[in-house]
Structure 1
Amino acid sequence: MIRALVDELIPGADGWPSASDAGVHGIVALRLFADWSEAETTALADLLGWQSGGLSSADAETRIGSVKAFETADRDLFDRIYTAATLAYYETPFVIEAIRHTGRPYSHRPHVTGYPMRPFDFARDMPGHQRGHYLNTNEVGPVDTSALDLDTAKTDQWGLER
């Protein structure tokens, strides 16, 4: 059931493995469902229409409808599963290799070595979208917040203690 669910969330295509081909279903099962009771697993199966031919259907539209109904019925659980599946997918060696094959540098642990970056070049890195403008560092000044009356105005969350 988890295998079918992650494959609906991340089906894969054109050189990208499906979530189950990358082993995401096992990672998600270990991270989220290892301590679940049989009743909790049965409740998830019911949300997905597993026994009634929802997610277990051979028809793609029925499976998609089942996952959408699950998302609507239990948004928090859906978000936890979707987040776990996405994170697990992009940390698997198969997907890391697929990303690298696109020509993008990608590392499972970029904080160790970082990513190669060219030094800033004013001509090359100037925004081309014609929105906003560029200031040299010595031209940057403080923003005038006097109209906000921050010394006496209270907010619901922060009050005067800042």
Structure 2
Amino acid sequence: MQRSRHVVDLKLSAVGGKPPLGGWLPPIRLTERQGTVLNAVADEFIPGGDGFPPPSDVDVLSFITRYVTPAGQDAKWFPFLGENDFKARLEKLGDSFLQATSAERVAILSGLEWDEPEFFGHLRDVVYYAYYSRPAVVHTMNRSLRAGRDYRLSPQPYGYTDVMDDWDDELLARVRGSYRRTAEVRRIEVPAHLREATS
């Protein structure tokens, strides 16, 4: 009983003007077919390869179902997808999408991008966000990509000290700056020709 009251409180706090931290609890529930369609869509957006797993192998669904806005709430925060509409669109893709070849799936998604660019953009964005939040993907980036060696799910508690270059003390010693107290700051008159250029 205590747990369910806590869940209700989380939902109500989101109504007060701030998005729910870490997504909605409990997450929305997809049918098995809806989940299969969403995994297939995600795998077309981000095909696995070169050591990177496909999205369906790293459980992007658990992320997405926390961030899709539950029925009865306004979808006014990322990813701007409401539960009922989202599920209906997955159902509409349904078996025809699942039975299609990869090339046919890409064509279906291209048509969706053309016909419904706003929905397509929200769907694509949440899939990307979900994928690059997965620990297995972060680990692969750390191991495989020079530019990804310092990518972390969260910089805390370690920060980035182990991957940052040391400060150049010699260069810093040559830097000269100045400081003016706030009380000493005076308003300046902007010349007329500059005021006109910015208006």
TM interval, shorter chain, is 0.5 to 0.7
Q: Give 1:78 deviation, angstroms.
A: 1.3
The aligned residue for residue 138 of structure 2 is 96
2-side partners of 1:78 and 1:68: how far apart?
Answer: 9
The aligned residue for residue 94 of structure 2 is 50
TM-score when normalising by structure 1: 0.65
* Pairing 1:21–2:57 present: yes
Unmatched segments (≥5 aa) in structure 1: 123-135, 140-144, 156-162
Which secondary structure state, in structure 2, belongs to the residue aligned with residue 50 of structure 1? helix
* Pairing 1:78–2:120 present: yes
The aligned residue for residue 16 of structure 2 is none
CA distance 1:111–1:11, change in 2 (3 Å): same
Matched letter for residue 150 of structure 2: P
2-side partners of 1:121 and 1:57: how far apart?
Answer: 58
Choose the corresponding residue for 2:153, options 91, 105, 108.
108
8 A Cα contact 2:46 2:54, kept in partner: yes
Choose the corresponding residue for 1:62, options 94, 100, 104.
104
Q: Percent identity?
A: 24
Which secondary structure state, in structure 2, belongs to the residue aligned with residue 113 of structure 1? coil
CA distance 1:111–1:148, change in 2 (3 Å): farther
1-side partners of 2:118 and 2:103: how far apart?
Answer: 23
The aligned residue for residue 127 of structure 1 is none
CA distance 1:148–1:92, change in 2 (3 Å): farther
* 1:138-149 alignment runs, 5 A limit: 149=194
Q: Give 1:81 deviation, angstroms.
A: 1.4
Cα RMSD, aligned residues only: 3.3
The aligned residue for residue 118 of structure 1 is 165
Count of equivalent residues:
134
CA distance 1:137–1:71, change in 2 (3 Å): farther
Unmatched segments (≥5 aa) in structure 2: 1-36, 72-82, 178-189
